Amino acid sequence: MPFTFAKVNAVIRAVRMSRQREIAAARMAALEESNHLLQTQARQLELQTNEARELAHELALTNEELRAVISEARKAWAAADAANRSKAEFLTVMSHELRTPLNSIGGYVDLLEMELRGPLTDAQKSDLARIKRSQHHLLGIINDILNFTRLEATEIKFDIIDVPLRALIGDLDAVVSPLARAKSIAYRCTSPPVNVYARTDADKLRQIMINLLSNAVKFTPEGGRIRLSCTVLEKSVSIHVEDNGPGIPHDKQEAVFQPFVQLDQGLTRTTEGTGLGLAISRGLARGMGGDVQVRSDVGVGSVFTVTIPLASPRTSSIESSAASASGAMRAD
């Protein structure tokens, strides 16, 4: 018996040792596999680290280049700003120097027309009228240049108040009607209601409207038509100047608001002017919280729209009531 038990114990120990060796071998294989995987990951991490270093180096170089570009851009901007200021100062001085003799010419023409120097013949009166028209034309060009330089330099001050729109638009008739009649153009104006007030600078808005209406007369052929109308919205009011002139191509409609741009280019162009009127008009409108836009089709005509803020209904109604009361008192 003892002999048999010894053999059984030996077999059991042999089996256990065999299993332990198998387990140890399996663990060793797993460790070797893990070690291989770790080595592979270490190599990949090293490659990624090298790539990250290279990328960081490239980013550093790019940042240096970007800083250099920004520095050059700032220098160029400063130079352009200085040049722009010099240009504006030069144009302002030249405009003033040109206006003085032109005003003198106008004064002397007035004296001659009054015949203080003696009677004039019809031919002389006609010549003086031509001189006066040319003097007014040159003054208009100089004033446009002066206004544009002031606008660029943000030197224009705005006196924003509540303006009765119906009265302001009605005053334009005295300016536009003679120009329209001279070209046999039909001018029609649809005024807004009495209680519509715009929050704007009355003089600047009047200048914008005169620019747009004068342009409409200038570019509308004889026998054409011009219409002024208004659209009152919740917070703004739009004034439309519509004509049936030649129209503006779609790809040129933003260009007309650039300074010194005229679509009729060249020495043979049929319209006069500096090409500053629309640029000044848009600049003034935007300075008052509004804008000037155009909608046009070639061969059909154009619609220029001035949009400006609407005065608060409460303020408008108070001023309208005060105006009505004042009118009633005058009637009494």
Residue range 190-210, pLDDT digits in tens: 888 888 999 999 999 998 999
Three-class HEC string of the chain: CHHHHHHHHHHHHHHHHHHHHHHHHHHHHHHHHHHHHHHHHHHHHHHHHHHHHHHHHHHHHHHHHHHHHHHHHHHHHHHHHHHHHHHHHHHHHHHHHHHHHHHHHHHHHHHHHCCCCCCCCHHHHHHHHHHHHHHHHHHHHHHHHHHHHHHHCCCCCCCCEEEEHHHHHHHCHHHHHHHHHHCCCEEEECCCCCCCEEEECHHHHHHHHHHHHHHHHHHCCCCCEEEEEEEECCCEEEEEEEECCCCCCHHHCCHHHCCCCCCCCCCCCCCCCCCCHHHHHHHHHHHCCCEEEEEEECCCEEEEEEEEEECCHHHHHHHHHHHHHHHHHHHC
| 123-131: average pLDDT | 87
Taking the model in full, what pTM does it have? 0.58
Residue range 57-97, pLDDT digits in tens: 888 888 888 888 898 888 888 887 777 677 667 766 776 67
Residue range 106-117, pLDDT digits in tens: 888 888 888 877
Higher-confidence residue of 224 and 116: namely 224
Checking if the pLDDT of 2 tops 60, the result is no
